[in-house]
Amino acid sequence: MTPDGGLNGRARQQIRRVLENPKFELLPFKNAVEQAGFLPEGALVSVTASPTFTLDRTFDIAAELRMRGFDVVPHLSARMTRDISHLASLLDRMEDLEISRVFVVGGDAPQQGVFPDGYSVLSAMADIGHHLAEIGVPCYPEGHATIPDENLGRALHDKQPHARYMTTQMCFDGGAIAGFLARSRADGIDLPVRLGIPGVAERLKLMQISARIGVGQSVRFLSKHRGLVSRFVRPGGYAPDELLEDVLPRLDERADEVVGVHIYTFNQCETTERWRQEYLAAL
C-alpha cells in the first residue's frame, strides 16, 4: 500500500526510521531457515519458543541462522527451562555461537522446571553471570489472556533493571498502544520500545499456524483479543502500514522512544519483506 496522504512530514520520517530498523520474528517450524533466506543479509532475526517443541529446537534453528550470518535473538522461555543447569547450558551455547542477544519470556507452556516466569530467569541469569549485551522483554498494550494487568505492571517494573528494551505484543489498536506507553512512562518504565506489528500473511496460512501452535493457546489469546480474527480475514486482508500510520502520529514526541519494529512474520518472510521494501520506497 502507499502511505496515507494525510501523514505529515514528521510522521513519515518516524515511520521510515522504525521500518529501517526491523527485527523479524520466526516460528521454530521446518521452513524457518528457508524463509529467512528472503530477509536482508545479516538481518536481526528472533526465533520463538513454542510449547509444541523444545528449547533445543529454538536454539538449533538459531544456530543455523547464526551460521548463515544473521544477527539472531533466540527466545528463552522460563517455563520451558528446567533448572539452573539447563539455563547455564543455554547461555554457554549462545556464547559459543557468538549470539549476544536474547528475548526472555514467561512462555505459554506448562511449567517444566523451577522457573515460573520471565523475572525468575532474569534474576538467575544475573546471579550466575552471562555474556549477553542485550536482553529484551515483552509488554502487553491490551493485557494478557491469563495474567491480571496489575501483575503485568509489577513484573515489568521488576524486569526493567535486567532489560535493554521491551516489545509490544500483537495489537491492532494504535490508541491502546499509545495509551499503554503513556501509562508506562508515568509509572516509571523508561525502556525503549520495539513496536510489534504483524507481517503480511495469507489467511489460510494463519489458520494453519494457529493450529500448529496449539488450539488451547490460540483460543485463550483470541478470547482476549476478539478483533484479531476480523482484522486478518476481512476482504483484502491486513496491511501492517495501517498500524504504523495509526500509532506513530499518536505518540507525537514519544515516537522517538520507538527504536524499531518487531515484525511477526508467521514464517511468511517473502511477502512481508516485499511489503516493507515497497512501503519504504513509497514514503
**pLDDT above 80 (res 234):** no
Whole-number pLDDT of residue 1: 57
**pLDDT above 70 (res 232):** no
Q: What DSSP designation does 234 have? A: S
Angle at 280 between CA 276 and CA 283, to 5 degrees: 140
pLDDT tens by residue, 33-65: 999 999 999 999 999 998 889 999 999 999 999
Higher pLDDT: 271 or 144? It is 271
Q: What DSSP designation does 38 have? A: T
Query: CA 149, CA 190: separation in Å to the nearest integer?
Result: 18
**pLDDT above 90 (res 108):** no
**pLDDT above 60 (res 219):** no
What residues form DSSP beta bridges with 76? 104
Whole-number pLDDT of residue 155: 94
Report, as an integer, the average pLDDT of 97-108. Answer: 95
Helix (H) / strand (E) element for 270: namely: helix 269-282
What residues form DSSP beta bridges with 258? 193
Question: pTM (2 decimals)?
Answer: 0.90
Give the model's confidence band at 2: pLDDT under 50 very low, under 70 low, under 90 confident, else very high: low
Task: Name the region of 48 (left: φ>0; alpha: ψ -120 to 50; beta: rest).
Answer: beta
Give yes or no for a contact between 212 and 29, defined as CB atoms under 8 angstroms apart. Answer: yes
